[in-house]
A and B are shown apart, each in its own frame.
Chain A
């Protein structure tokens, strides 16, 4: 797992209070990890803070899974 993926995973575990083994790349925040729409907004904020990037609203709307976040953040920090 990449450094970015590891960091994303820890943020998700911390914010959603879920078991580490559930936080796989395919996991959907809402469908699989029990997040609601407000949780997802807060998650995006936490990603922005941790990676020092800005995630515009239209981009944020496409981040639905752990993998989506990793992909976006790997690109944004490359």
Chain B
């Protein structure tokens, strides 16, 4: 089987623009959750979100002009701009910019989103109602479609191989990276740009998730404390915006060109709950089978996993995931560390799996356990170290990242420290 390694990383998240700023913020246990001020939220129960720091591009701020020509930005929803920025960083980082036709044909893009251009759809709906069909922009459709992330990225970088998207709610980013790795393993491409992007911070999606009572309502006055997985006072998830994109590559292809290798993707598991449209079953069966499938693919036993980046959204599902991990790991749970980086970023929905795969890769590479911040009073009893408050050092060989989505769609990725 062809081996697949990670050779480029890119991200724009509430913790900043760029991998370096993100990793520094994660290690410092910083929160990227703030009060929403760019549109009215007085009538919405949740008024906080993980917001990308905007600016001129210095000090980890995000300048959309670096990702897309300003005249084109108004044609698309933000998730496409975020995806372009993360892809730009990842391609730059990997150094793979194919110009030969054959190289381009073996380089593809697989980037998805959970809910895509939901805000632009609402806006166009108002235009249709108030001004009629002749005023709906010709860019309305291409600026909202989820696979236009992959489309725009391929145009920007000349990647002419497989071009596709994943739409699996909060599992999107993990599925995209896993599916891309599989395309390479199956010899359908040599290099793939893969990941997820989301721009959900708008009135319509806040309203929708708030109606489900899925969002955090109790921390509008203390945004940085709002995302608190496993804590007694957790009150629902906090939405976040951003994108994570990696360049994954066949090992020999990466070696030949002397690429920097961050880690190896050795395991990918998927499962379906077949239970409920939004809630996981109480026994965590879907998560259990998903992680088991990833371990089977990696041909390793649970005790070899040193770190799990949890789905951990700061909801009732947190404890169910802990239970599934305990059941799978058995005695090995006692030496396992598992944390939720969503405590710092918020929940980036379709981008979550991608940014968390990157954090997991850096954790394994550097031997650092990201913390679960705001974990003051645990409401789960477990032998697993949930890494409260502060990052820790721990030598790691394998890390596992979990993502679970509405519809009962689950994905687990296993990243191995690169050992040659």
Residues of A within 8 A of B (CB): 15-17, 38, 41-42, 45, 48-49, 54
Whether B70 pairs with A17 at a CB distance below 8 angstroms is yes
Chain B contacts for A15, CB-based, 8 A = 71
8 Å CB interface, B141-155 against A: 142
Question: Cα distance A48–B70 when bound, in Å?
Answer: 23
Cβ contacts A to B, 20 pairs, < 8 Å: A15-B71, A16-B71, A17-B69, A17-B70, A17-B71, A17-B72, A38-B138, A38-B139, A38-B142, A41-B138, A42-B137, A42-B138, A42-B139, A45-B134, A45-B135, A45-B137, A45-B138, A48-B134, A49-B135, A54-B134
Minimum C-beta distance from A18 to chain B (A): 8
Question: Cα distance A38–B136 when bound, in Å?
Answer: 12
8 Å CB interface, B66-85 against A: 69-72
Residues of B within 8 A of A (CB): 69-72, 134-135, 137-139, 142
Grouping DSSP codes into helix (H, G, I), strand (E, B) and loop, the A interface class, with mixed when no group exceeds half, is helix
Question: Cα distance A41–B135 when bound, in Å?
Answer: 10
Question: Cα distance A17–B71 when bound, in Å?
Answer: 5
Chain B contacts for A45, CB-based, 8 A = 134-135, 137-138
Question: Cα distance A17–B72 when bound, in Å?
Answer: 9
Chain B contacts for A16, CB-based, 8 A = 71
Chain B contacts for A17, CB-based, 8 A = 69-72
Chain B CB within 10 A, most for which of A16, A17, A54: A17
Chain B contacts for A49, CB-based, 8 A = 135
The 7 A-B pairs at the shortest CB distance, nearest first, are namely: A17-B71, A41-B138, A38-B138, A42-B138, A42-B137, A38-B139, A45-B135
**In the complex, residue of chain A having the shortest beta-carbon distance to the beta carbon of B137:** A42
**In the complex, residue of chain A having the shortest beta-carbon distance to the beta carbon of B141:** A38
Question: Cα distance A66–B335 when bound, in Å?
Answer: 71
Besides A15-B71, A42-B139, A54-B134, 16 more A-B contacts (Cβ < 8 Å) are: A16-B71, A17-B69, A17-B70, A17-B71, A38-B138, A38-B139, A38-B142, A41-B138, A42-B137, A42-B138, A45-B134, A45-B135, A45-B137, A45-B138, A48-B134, A49-B135
